[in-house]
Amino acid sequence: MDDRTIFHIDVNSAFLSWEAVHRLRDLGETLDLRTIPSAVGGDMSKRHGVILAKSIPAKKYNVRTGEPIVDALRKCPNLTLVSPDRELYATNSAAFMEILRRYSDVVEQYSIDEAFVDMTGTRALFGSPMEAAYRLKDEIRDTLGFTVNVGISSNKLLAKMAGEFEKPDKVHTLFPYEIQEKMWPLPVGELFSVGGASEQKLRRLGINTIGDLARADLGTLRAALKKHGEAIWNFANGRDLSLVEAESADNKGYGNSTTLAFDVTDADTAKMILLSLAETVGRRLRRDGAWIETVSVALRFFDLSRASHQCVLDYATNITDEIYQAACRLFDEFWDGTPIRLIGIQTGKVTKDGDNRQMSLFDDTDYEKLERLDKAMDSIREKFGENAVRRASLTSL
């Protein structure tokens, strides 16, 4: 039996790469955005817009993902800025995942542009892990036009760390016996889930490299960083027992999820994301003339662990605000403050006969007004595009 083999596949500068391929292949442009200082970012008219993806030439100007657009332009005045096209990204993501599923039936989509694939037991089909990784990487490049990095190891953590080594269009291994040579010399800030605040605390403790963290006293780390300290100590030592979890092919519900570039640590930001997800789910329901009776919220945390919570609604609905309010209640009930990497909303118990709400003397909600608002917003987006209208509370996203 083959040893456990896990791949982490990450699209290189995904949003920018997908924009570049679309312009070259579909629009007939000759300039490749990947070869010039360029970035995908929000609308310049919105002061809260941030850089979502950048080219390698832009990186040389220290343009960083997640920073305000105005700061990026200050560093690189000649930066070519492209507005995001979420429909294009969803299409490319689906095509990317389709290729991955040709290599294994155990594929866990970690975000729109990355996934874990359990390749254990596939040697007879695709050769050694290195042979399979190059075959997979090259098929994506030759078929879809964009490049990926593939990290190979025996667990998810080390595979993800391997995928972060030299880019783009590379294959790297990081097996447990390679940790001391390849991972321990790296700055501690490069370890998965060590953010800026944690890095500063670690450096104050004299911990500057991942190796320093691996050899540190666990009690000291717990005192300084609590639960997070123990988690990153295990990561520094290459320990990760989480399994690759294939997503269910259940089509009985409507859902959406998103992974952000940074950990979410406050409820207000999380709830803005929930509203954006509820918008998408509600619009799909109304488009299909469907209603749902259950709502669940799923979270994936900084340490790859997951949690979810579900409720049954009093009446079937496809109103965005009802889905959102239910999601917020669930979130408040089970989130314990652990930094969040992914937020998702899933719905269930779909019905085509949901327009039969019974009115209550104790409920003064104007559901007809909410339905009219949703229909108006759906109509505007249908005619003028996804970003033609947004709820005020979402303008900072």
Which active-site residues does the annotation give?
Answer: 114
Q: Parallel, antiparallel, or unpaired for β 340-348 and 255-264?
A: antiparallel
Place of tokens 């919105």: 46
What is the number of other CB atoms lying within 10 angstroms of the CB of residue 218? Answer: 11
Q: Output DSSP code: residue 4.
A: P
User: What are the distances in angstroms from CA 317 to CA 129, 192, 293, 352, 358?
Assistant: 48, 40, 7, 10, 12
Q: State the Cα–Cα distance between residues 150 and 157, nearest whole angstrom.
A: 13
Q: State the Cα–Cα distance between residues 212 and 284, nearest whole angstrom.
A: 49
Q: State the Cα–Cα distance between residues 103 and 134, nearest whole angstrom.
A: 12
Spatial contact of 157 and 193, defined as CB atoms under 8 Å apart: no
Q: State the Cα–Cα distance between residues 169 and 129, nearest whole angstrom.
A: 16
How many Cα atoms are found within 13 Å in the side-chain-facing hemisphere of 342?
A: 22
Which residues, 6+ apart, have CB-to-CB distance to 126 below 8 Å?
103, 119, 132, 135, 136
Q: Parallel, antiparallel, or unpaired for β 148-153 and 6-11?
A: antiparallel
Q: State the Cα–Cα distance between residues 311 and 240, nearest whole angstrom.
A: 31
Handedness of CA 140, 103, 113, 116 (dihedral sign): negative
